[in-house]
Structure formats: structure tokens, C-alpha cells
């Protein structure tokens, strides 16, 4: 059977697009929107093929330079050219394949560091890594956080939805992604964070908890208990994965009644969490969250927090609040997904970025709270 031809962008006639219905490639799209940093293209130094912005060579030229042949080369290449398919639709059989894709995204050719990074000296800095939704994430953006913030931060807090858990979604699915493929990508993400930061804390998001929800919906309580006995009490794959890394922990807040909460964490006078709340009104979800925290202060054993950082909304915002509070939405690192392109419109476009803060003597400095917005980077 003859292979179908790849679809080219109708505008530039050189970059590939997913289907013939797409009006323009991502580079032409960002050029049209006037976002210069995202519109710039990077080319292989050897053959001129389009590659990630941090890479030096395409997959073909890299393996040629390394002398790779046979099975690895045949899986990596398509007729001597880089496959136009994204890493989401390209089958990943193992973590090793996901790691190779990560290396290509960041242009890394040296062996990866295996030891835990040392804690930076000086003022304590914490970076909040927003919703990643692997394997639908932007590797270049995650690489930027790891390379830029890793040497400066004592800790990274991943604020939930590291995994998309697409295979367990009850919504209409517009892509085909198996759990094994997704988990190879998630493992690579956790591995990258573990190797880049001295300490990593993971907040569990609603997507991360999808498997547990499906199990509790479809199995009897005795069946769920049997699975917990076999897994050491765990129903969340991300929680099990974190146990394999000595510097990675899962958020744990114990209430006065003895309940364990993993969807938020606290850091002194800082609250960081992934509540399932959204609003089409800018800042609306943040204000609802702050009211909820005040109402449940006693029952959940909470304090009054100067800085509140919220994931889940995929928005970026900073709102000075009351006398001395700052409310923050921390963005996301994921691509636009199929469901967001459907005719049922609503919501606001997601903002890709992240935030950080610094502390003096255990107290947050609100003037140190910073924000990086990838979508409006300047060249």
C-alpha cells in the first residue's frame, strides 16, 4: 500500500500540518498573531530540516553523526526525513524512547546526570511548575524551566495534572494515546524534574486522579481494597512513580479529623494547590478559592496565607488582595488539545507560563513573586 503524502501548510508550503483541514502551521499561526518568539524556526545545522528551538541537529543527522544504523534508525526516520507527527501520536514503547525524544527536544547529547542536585545557597527560591498534561506538553517549555530555574531553586512544586490520564477520560477522545505511551512520557517528565531540582513536591490534580476515580466507579469496595493490598495502599500511578525517586514527594496535608489531602500543599505562609474550580471571569476562580480557604480554615487546619497559588485554570494572573495578600494563577505547559478546537466555544485561551517566589527567614517576599509568559516572549 502506498503511503499517503504528508500535508503541507497552505501558507508557507514547507512545514507539515496534522490534516488537510488545518489552515496554517504553528509557525505561520504565531507570525499571524505577531508572537515573534514562537514564530521563529530552527533548522538542522547539517541538512536544514525543521527542528526544536533548542536542538542542533535533526534525528537523521544526529544518528548519522553517531553512526547509528539498523533498528534504531529505521524507527526514528521516515524516508530519510524527520517524521511530521508529534510525540503525542508517535508510539512510545518505553521510557527509553521518551527520554530520547526529550534529548532531541533540548538538544542534549551528553549522558544525563543521575545524582540529586545540590541545594543552592542564599535566598530560598521556589518555582511552581504548572499543569503539564504529559504527553500533550511542550518539551521546550519544560526544558526552559529545568535549565533556568534548576540551578537557582531550592525546590520545585508541580501543581497538579502532570499526567493527562487521557486513556481514562470519560470525555470524547480526539486522539489515540495508550496508557503505556502516556506513562513513558510522564516518567520522563518526573525524571527530568528529579535531575534538575534539589527537591520536588507533587500536588495531585484531577487528571492525575482519573484512574482512582474510574476504579471506584466501576469496582466494588472489596475489589478496590484488594487492589490496595497488592499495591501497598496506592491507587494513583503518579504516587507510585514518585516513590522511585529519593528527592520527589507527594503533597500531604492532614486535617484535624485525620483525613489526608494531596491536592494542595503549604509552604509556611504560602498555599499552593489544584482545586477543581474555573471561571470565565478573569480572577474569578482565585477569589472563590480565597473565600473557600477562609470558610474552611478551622475544619481543614489551615492558616492565613499571604500568597495563594492556584493551578487547574491554565491562566496567568497576579491579583493583590485584601491588606497584604497576593492571589496567583500559574499558567500551564500544555499544547492546545483536540477538544479545544471544536465548535462548542467557551472559556478563555490558555496561557503557557510559570511563576516563582522567594523567602526570607521562612516568610514569603510578595515583591519577589515573578511570572514568565512563554506566549509573549521577545526575541
pLDDT for 106: 58
Instruction: Supply the Cα-derived Rg of the chain in whole angstroms.
Output: 22
* pLDDT digits 0-9 by tens, 169-208: 877 777 778 888 888 899 999 999 999 999 999 999 999 9
Q: What is the pLDDT of residue 358?
A: 97
Name the DSSP class of 179.
H
Q: Is the pLDDT of residue 139 over 60?
A: yes
Please state whether the peptide bond connecting residue 135 to the residue before it is cis, i.e. omega within 30 degrees of 0: yes
What band does 365 get if pLDDT is binned at 50, 70 and 90?
very high
- Answer yes or no: is pLDDT of 118 > 80: yes
pLDDT at 368 over 70: yes
Structure-model confidence comparison of residues 145 and 8, the more confident one: 145
The number of beta carbons lying within 10 Å of the beta carbon of residue 62 is 21
Question: CA 203 to CA 263: how far, in whole Å?
Answer: 5
Asked if residues 263 and 188 have their Cβ atoms less than 8 Å apart, the reply is: no
Q: Is 70 exceeded by the pLDDT of residue 145? A: yes
Predicted pLDDT at 183: 87
Q: What is the pTM of this model?
A: 0.69
Q: Annotate 128-153 with DSSP letters as a single string.
A: EE-B--BTSB-HHHHHHHHHHHTTT-
Given a cut of 90, is residue 93 above it in pLDDT?
no
DSSP 268: T
Closest by CA position to 93, among listed 113, 68, 72: 72
pLDDT of 351 above 90: yes
Which one of 2.60.40.3880, 3.90.1150.10, 3.60.21.10, 3.40.50.300 gives the CATH number of domain 124-376? 3.60.21.10
Instruction: Tell me the average pLDDT across 82-101.
Output: 50
Q: What would the pLDDT profile of 197-249 be if each residue is shown by its tens digit?
A: 999 999 999 999 888 888 898 989 999 889 888 878 888 889 989 999 999 99
Boundaries of every domain in the chain: 124-376
What is the predicted pLDDT for the residue at 328? 96
pLDDT at 83: 39
User: In this predicted structure, what is the pLDDT of residue 131?
Assistant: 96
Instruction: State the pLDDT at residue 42.
Output: 75
What is residue 192's predicted lDDT score, i.e. its pLDDT?
Answer: 94
Q: How confident is the model at residue 283 (pLDDT cuts 50, 70, 90)?
A: confident
Could you tell me the pLDDT band of residue 2, with boundaries at 50, 70 and 90? very low
If you average pLDDT over residues 255-270, what whole number do you get? 94
* The pLDDT value given to residue 109: 54
- For the residues 345-357, what does the mean pLDDT come to? 87
Provide mean pLDDT across the span 27-55: 72
The mean pLDDT value for 319-330 works out to 92
Q: What does the buried/exposed string (b/e) look like for 184-218 if buried means 16 or more CB atoms within 10 Å of the residue's CB?
A: bbbbbbbbbbbbbbbbbbbbbbbbbbbbbebeeee
- What distance in Å separates the CA atoms of residue 6 and residue 20, rounded to the nearest whole number? 9
With bands split at pLDDT 50, 70 and 90, how would you rate the model's confidence at 74? Answer: very low
Amino acid at each position: 500500500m502506498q503511503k499517503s503524502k504528508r500535508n503541507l501548510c497552505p501558507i508557507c508550503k514547507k512545514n507539515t500540518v496534522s490534516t488537510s483541514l488545518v489552515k496554517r502551521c504553528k509557525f505561520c499561526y504565531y507570525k499571524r498573531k505577531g508572537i515573534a518568539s514562537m514564530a521563529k524556526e530552527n533548522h538542522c545545522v547539517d541538512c536544514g530540516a525543521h527542528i526544536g528551538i533548542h536542538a542542533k541537529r535533526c534525528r537523521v543527522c544526529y544518528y548519522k553523526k553517531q553512526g547509528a544504523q539498523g533498528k534504531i534508525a529505521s524507527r526514528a526516520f521516515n524516508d530519510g526525513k524527520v517524521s511530521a507527527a508529534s510525540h503525542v501520536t508517535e508510539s512510545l514503547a518505553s521510557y527509553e524512547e521518551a527520554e530520547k525524544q526529550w534529548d532531541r527536544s533540548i538538544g542534549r547529547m551528553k549522558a544525563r546526570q543521575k545524582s540529586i542536585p545540590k541545594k543552592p545557597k542564599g535566598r530560598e527560591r521556589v518555582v511552581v511548575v504548572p499543569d503539564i498534561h504529559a504527553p500533550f506538553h511542550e518539551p521546550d517549555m519544560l526544558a526552559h524551566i529545568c535549565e533556568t530555574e534548576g540551578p537557582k531553586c531550592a525546590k520545585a512544586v508541580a501543581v497538579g495534572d502532570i499526567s493527562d490520564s487521557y486513556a481514562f477520560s470519560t470525555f470524547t477522545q480526539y486522539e489515540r494515546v495508550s496508557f503505556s505511551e502516556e506513562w513513558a512520557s510522564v516518567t520522563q517528565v518526573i525524571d527530568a524534574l528529579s535531575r534538575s531540582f534539589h527537591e520536588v513536591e507533587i500536588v495531585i490534580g484531577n487528571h492525575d486522579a482519573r484512574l482512582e476515580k474510574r476504579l471506584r466507579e466501576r469496582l466494588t469496595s472489596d475489589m478496590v481494597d484488594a487492589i490496595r493490598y497488592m499495591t501497598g495502599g496506592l491507587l494513583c500511578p503518579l504516587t507510585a512513580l514518585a516513590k522511585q525517586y529519593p528527592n520527589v514527594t507527594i503533597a500531604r496535608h492532614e486535617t484535624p479529623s485525620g483525613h489526608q489531602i494531596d491536592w494542595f500543599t503549604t509552604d509556611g505562609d504560602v498555599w499552593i494547590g489544584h482545586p477543581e474550580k474555573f471561571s470565565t471571569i478573569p480572577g474569578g476562580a482565585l477569589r472563590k478559592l480565597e473565600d473557600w480557604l477562609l470558610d474552611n480554615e478551622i475544619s481543614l487546619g489551615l492558616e492565613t496565607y499571604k500568597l495563594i497559588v492556584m493551578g487547574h485554570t491554565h491562566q496567568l494572573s497576579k491579583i493583590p488582595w485584601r491588606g497584604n495578600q497576593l492571589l496567583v494563577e500559574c499558567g500551564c505547559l500544555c499544547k492546545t488539545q483536540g477538544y479545544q478546537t471544536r465548535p462548542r466555544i467557551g472559556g478563555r485561551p490558555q496561557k503557557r507560563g510559570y511563576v516563582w517566589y522567594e523567602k526570607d527567614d521562612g516568610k514569603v517576599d510578595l515583591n519577589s513573586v515573578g511570572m514568565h509568559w512563554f506566549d509573549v516572549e521577545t526575541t
